């Protein structure tokens, strides 16, 4: 027998063993058919089977996320049961050490993807059997509502079953920690190191599948009032005394996700009653039939929303991703007359300035911190400094941003905004929508657009122009090769401006933990950051140029100059990477 024959025999044996113990008849049947086709020599089936059993899905700071299907490298009831049992053991031991005699508490939420409700209920059953006081959300609801519940219910942990804006075939398992499990600034936030490794070790220690006990009952299904409480708290963020304008025609799309009803209810409670839902995308649908990819950032994802906006004469479009933790904004550009989606950095700056204005209305000293990820624009730092507030940069991801002590507002360029950290210690596309509507209505009442408001920021702080280059690879080894090339043959300039500072982010610093990536600053303040994506097989390059602007009349020329500079930087980045 050749080595390849032996490998196939072992693969088929592993798959049959899995199918025999799989508690899900659907995945067991699909796996049995895959085994039959593989045994018959069907190449595609054999490749799919090999990938499904190529390793164990690893638990990390993003929890778990993968395609649905049978096998240890897929999202399924076996993998979820083991994850739930390991997390239950972690919560139990952690709470026992921090507060002896205290019963751990946890809350479990889920979106409308395939199997989300099943994964959530089995997690609740396993938690309950492990002695954890467990709450289950009453329906498929947004991720921010789960993050809210971790804090509102004073829980030690939370699980959200969601794959956010991933393709329809995926699902995921996102973990939050609370009261006795983490420090105060991290309560209600996603996990970071070392908690991921500690939980992963507990998962690894879980015994055979049939040793995992599922309680038949005993958890509490929360009343719908938990959603009503969140809606009331978020709607109360509106500041009508300071920003009374409510004349705004909004088109909203939840992109076939779970945020539609909640977002409409919150906006209307905040006084924004003219809200039109995109009919074709209003109800949850795990197939996401009208979009190629359910991510507002993807080309074409907002086409239906923009068509609706043109039809009803809307002022603004707000799009949430399927679990409603992100928000995208589009408006009609007065320079071109065309609708365009704002970049995440543009919305991040607008919200930052609006938060400052709201705080100015309260009075008192400027106390608190504004924060954004290192790959986001430097404009927020200038806005915060001008108002007397502290600013911090963090690693990419809201698991880091949300942990900043004293946080008042945080954002990342990938459409994530935290405007109310005392309510939700995570990105929240619904609370962000309230403040986006408020600032857009205020601009309209003054006879302006949000683009005019952006220009006002540029006149004070400089025009900050951004762009990105994403390089998707089939072989993950190419990511290492490109990063190695940067270190072996470092670029000496970008866009004709000499590199003055090169920082290897993998070495870490007093402000940031180590992370794979390179940061470059040039003489004219151009910034380039190159890093592998943490969730996709991509190399991501973030570019920013800054140009001083003396008057509004200079803005058009400054934009053209900045665009030309970005194009030059893009070309140099490609050359540096050997593309």
Taking only the tens place, the pLDDT of each residue in 432-477 is 999 999 999 999 999 999 999 999 999 999 999 999 999 988 888 8
Q: Taking the model in full, what pTM does it have?
A: 0.95
* Other residues' Cβ atoms within 10 Å of the Cβ of residue 233: 17
Span 95-139, pLDDT tens digits? 999 999 999 999 999 999 999 999 999 999 999 999 999 999 999
H-type helices in 446-476, by residue range?
Answer: 450-461
Q: Is 262 left (phi over 0), alpha (psi -120 to 50) or beta?
A: alpha
Structure confidence at residue 61 (pLDDT): 83
Contacts of 216 (CB under 8 A, 6+ apart): 125
| Separation of alpha carbons 19 and 27, rounded Å | 8
Please state the domain extents for the chain: 10-54, 59-223, 245-458, 462-576
Q: Which of 116, 164, 431, 497 is catalytic?
A: 164
* Least confident stretch, 31-45, 84-98, 162-176, 265-279: 31-45
Instruction: State the pLDDT at residue 7.
Output: 83
> With contact defined as beta carbons under 8 Å apart, do 504 and 518 qualify?
yes
Known catalytic residue at 164? yes
Number of other residues whose CB lies within 10 A of the CB of residue 488: 7
Give every CB contact of residue 499 below 8 A, 6+ residues apart in sequence.
490, 491, 492, 493, 520, 521, 522
pLDDT beyond 80 at 534: no
Burial class (CB in 10 A: 0-12, 13-18, 19+), 101: exposed
Q: Which CATH number, 1.10.287.110, 3.40.120.10, 3.90.580.10, 2.40.30.170, labels domain 245-458? A: 3.40.120.10
- Average pLDDT of the chain is 95
In which band, very low, low, confident or very high, does the pLDDT at 62 lie, cut at 50, 70 and 90?
A: confident
How would residue 1 be classed by pLDDT, with cut points 50, 70 and 90? Answer: low
Can you give the pLDDT at residue 389? 96
Average of per-residue pLDDT across 236-250: 96
- Give the pLDDT confidence score for residue 127 in this predicted structure: 98
Is residue 537 scored above 90 in pLDDT?
no
Three-class secondary structure of residue 229 per DSSP = helix
Report in angstroms the alpha-carbon separations of 108 from 159, 222, 227, 568. Answer: 5, 10, 14, 48
Residue 76: φ, ψ to 5° = -160, 180
**Poorest-confidence range of 108-112, 358-362, 486-490, 521-525?**
358-362
The 10s digit of each residue's pLDDT in 295-337 is 999 999 999 999 999 999 999 999 999 999 999 999 999 888 9
DSSP code for 201: H
The Cα–Cα gap between 67 and 79 comes to 12
Q: Is 71 helix (H, G, I), strand (E, B) or coil?
A: coil
134-138, 165-169, 185-189, 397-401 — most confident range = 134-138
**Rounded Cα distance, 516 and 505, in Å:** 6
φ, ψ at 66 (rounded to 5°): -170, 175
Using the predicted structure, report yes or no on whether residue 536 has a pLDDT greater than 90. no
DSSP 98-142: HSTTPPPEEEEEE-SSTTHHHHHHHHHHHHHHTT-EEEE-SSS--
Distance CA 429, CA 257 (A): 12
Query: How far apart, in whole angstroms, are the C-alpha atoms of residue 381 and residue 390?
Result: 8
CA distances from 230 to 71, 76, 225, 236 (A): 37, 30, 8, 10
Question: How many Å apart are CA 510 and CA 514, to the nearest integer?
Answer: 10
Proportion of the chain above pLDDT 70, given as a percent: 99
Q: What is the pLDDT of residue 80?
A: 98
Do the first three CATH levels of 59-223 and 462-576 match, i.e. the same topology? no
Distances (CA, A) of 336 to 333, 339, 554: 6, 8, 17
What architecture does CATH give domain 59-223?
3-Layer(aba) Sandwich (3.40)
Q: Give the residue among 359, 338, 577 at the shortest CA–CA distance from 478.
A: 577
Tell me which fold the domain 462-576 belongs to.
Answer: TATA-Binding Protein (3.30.310)
């Amino acid at each position: 027998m050749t080595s390849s024959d032996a490998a196939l025999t072992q693969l088929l044996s592993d798959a049959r063993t899995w199918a025999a113990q799989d508690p899900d008849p659907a995945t067991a049947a699909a796996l049995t058919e895959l085994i039959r086709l593989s045994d018959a020599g069907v190449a595609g089936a054999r490749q799919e089977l090999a990938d499904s059993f190529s390793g164990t899905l690893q638990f990390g700071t993003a929890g778990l996320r993968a395609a649905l299907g049978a096998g240890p490298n897929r999202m399924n009831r076996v993998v979820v049961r083991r994850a739930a049992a390991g997390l239950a053991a972690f919560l139990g031991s952690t709470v026992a050490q921090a507060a002896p005699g205290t019963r751990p508490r946890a809350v479990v939420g889920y979106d409308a993807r395939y199997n989300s409700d099943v994964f959530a209920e089995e997690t609740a059953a396993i938690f309950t059997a492990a002695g954890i006081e467990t709450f289950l959300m009453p329906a498929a609801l947004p991720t921010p509502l789960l993050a809210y519940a971790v804090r509102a219910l004073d829980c030690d942990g939370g699980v959200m079953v969601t794959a956010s804006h991933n393709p329809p075939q995926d699902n995921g398992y996102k973990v939050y920690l609370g009261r006795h499990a983490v420090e105060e600034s991290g309560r209600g936030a996603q996990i970071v190191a070392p908690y991921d490794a500690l939980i992963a070790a507990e998962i690894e220690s879980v015994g055979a599948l049939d040793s995992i006990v599922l309680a038949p009952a005993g958890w509490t299904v929360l009343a719908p009032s938990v959603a009503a409480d969140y809606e009331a708290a978020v709607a109360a963020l509106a500041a009508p005394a300071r920003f009374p304008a409510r004349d705004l025609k909004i088109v909203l799309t939840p992109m076939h996700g779970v945020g539609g009803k909640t977002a409409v209810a919150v906006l209307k409670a905040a006084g924004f009653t003219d809200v039109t839902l995109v009919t074709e995308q209003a109800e949850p649908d795990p197939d996401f039939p009208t979009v190629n990819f359910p991510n507002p950032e993807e080309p074409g994802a907002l086409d239906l929303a923009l068509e609706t906006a043109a039809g009803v004469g809307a002022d603004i479009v707000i799009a949430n991703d399927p679990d409603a933790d992100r928000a995208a904004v589009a408006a009609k550009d007065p320079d071109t007359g065309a609708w365009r989606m704002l970049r995440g950095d543009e919305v991040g700056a607008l919200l930052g300035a609006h938060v400052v204005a709201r705080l100015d209305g309260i009075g008192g000293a400027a106390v608190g911190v504004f924060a954004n990820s290192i790959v986001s624009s430097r404009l927020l730092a200038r806005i915060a400094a001008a108002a007397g507030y502290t600013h911090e940069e963090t690693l990419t991801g809201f698991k880091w941003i949300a942990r900043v002590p004293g946080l008042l507002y945080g954002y990342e360029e990938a459409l994530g905004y935290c405007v109310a950290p005392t309510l939700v210690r995570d990105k929240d596309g619904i609370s962000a929508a309230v403040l986006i509507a408020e600032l857009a209505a205020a601009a309209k009442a003054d006879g302006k657009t949000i683009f005019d408001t952006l220009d006002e920021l540029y006149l004070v702080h400089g025009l900050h122009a951004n762009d990105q280059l994403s390089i998707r690879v089939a072989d993950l080894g190419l990511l290492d090769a490109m990063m190695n090339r940067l270190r072996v043959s470092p670029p000496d300039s970008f866009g004709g401006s000499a590199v003055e500072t090169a920082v290897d982010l993998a070495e870490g610093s007093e402000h940031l933990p180590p992370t794979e990536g390179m940061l470059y600053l040039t003489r004219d303040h151009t910034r380039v950051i190159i890093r592998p994506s943490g969730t996709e097989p991509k190399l991501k390059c973030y570019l920013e140029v800054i140009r001083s602007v003396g008057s509004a009349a200079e803005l058009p020329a400054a934009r053209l100059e900045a665009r030309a500079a970005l194009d030059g930087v893009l070309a140099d980045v490609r050359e540096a990477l050997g593309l």
